[in-house]
Amino acid sequence: MGRHLFKEEHVIFRDAFKKFIEKEIVSHMEQWEEDGIIPRDIWKKMGENGFLCPWMEEKYGGSDVGFEYSVIINEELSYIGANGLLAGLHSDIIVPYIHSFANEEQKMQWLPGCASGDIITAIAMTEPNTGSDLAAIRTTAIRDGDQYIINGQKTFISIGILCDLVIVVAKTDPNVQPPFKGISLICVKDNTPGFTKGQNLKKMGFHSQDTAELVFEDCRVPVSNLLGQEGQGFYYLMQKLQGERLVASIMAQSMAEAMLDMTVNYCKERTIFGKPVSSFQHNTFKIVEMATEIELGRTFLDSLISDYIAGKDIVQRVSMAKAWIPEMANRVAYQCVQLHGGYGYMEEYPICRFARDVRVIPIFAGTTEVMKVIIGRMMGL
């Protein structure tokens, strides 16, 4: 792709990462889908090769390179549909909380492991009765001397089974008004007494990515596991959510591009009534419309990535991207399955898995509807 974002060193890096994917990931994906989880050793290999948290400073184990490298990693994993390996969630959404809000001692304790693949992270926001409305969470972390006692339940937690360190969104002051002022972020290590991981939830798509319920029953953690300041958790979440929406949009856009490519190839080769499927005007128009929407999405997304790298505030526009690009990708998925005919419904064809997997992107990282509410407020509506 001759995109303005990328220089020669990025192209070289993309080629190296593609080779890694070919060697270490592609041939295992079917097995991972069946297993419902990614083995730890692939995380370690990602870390050894510098593919986790590449933006982080070298003193913490990173490569100290630009966000462009994260973009390349997220794109290439999405192009092949390796959605179970949510490296972008770990590297570009969760670890930045530690990098931005932890003190130096906490950073030295956790960040090198995050870069090497020895520490896999998760973030526990969603609760059984609370989705996108973070202010309504019920999980509490009540201080008792030099410890917090955490009680509550979290659900739909990505990488919830594998994680070694989970950032728990909890209320340290359940009575304060407005409620969001009582929220804090607290790190909990795996195997902490009172912290249990529930079953690996069965999902419509993303089969190889473990998603769990997490339960905290009188789970005691040292006060030194608090990220940043007590009661500031909601503000920290708001600061970082633009990165999360950007990564989700990158995934959806890349999947849309991959789905169109595989469908165009299929429709040129597959014949019906003695002609390629793609040559029927109705189908040609469908493909052209998809290609146009994908081009619009790519142009918008690349401008957002540029602004994000430049440190600009992209909250409103990235919320627009998160509301539009994943929905567009789902329109593409629907039409691409249709153009594959009966084969589109068969697991042996990648379009089948892509269509299942892409469905969740308008839901996670804030639903399409919540994005529209946020944009509306920002427009003063």
Q: What residues are labeled active site?
A: 244
| Strand 275-276 versus strand 195-200 pairing type | unpaired
Alpha carbons 27 and 59: distance in angstroms, whole number: 34
CA 73 and chain centroid, separation? 12
Contact between 25 and 19 (Cβ < 8 Å): no
CA–CA distance, 18 with 24 (Å, rounded to integer) = 10
| 131/166 Cα distance (integer angstroms) | 18
Cα distances from 363 to residues 249, 322, 359, in angstroms, run 12, 10, 8
CB 198 within 8 A of CB 122: no
Q: Are 221 and 146 in contact (CB under 8 A)?
A: no
Question: What is the distance between the alpha carbons of residues 239 and 313, in angstroms, rounded to a whole number?
Answer: 10
Q: Which residue from 263, 307, 302, 305 is spatially nearest to 284, judged by alpha carbons?
A: 263
CA 358, 12, 54, 316: dihedral to nearest 10 degrees?
-50
Task: Estimate the crossing angle of helix 67-79 against helix 8-24, to 10 degrees.
Answer: 40
Containing 44, the helix (H) or strand (E) segment is: helix 40-48
CA dist., res. 37 & res. 66, Å (int):
30
H or E stretch at 23: helix 8-24
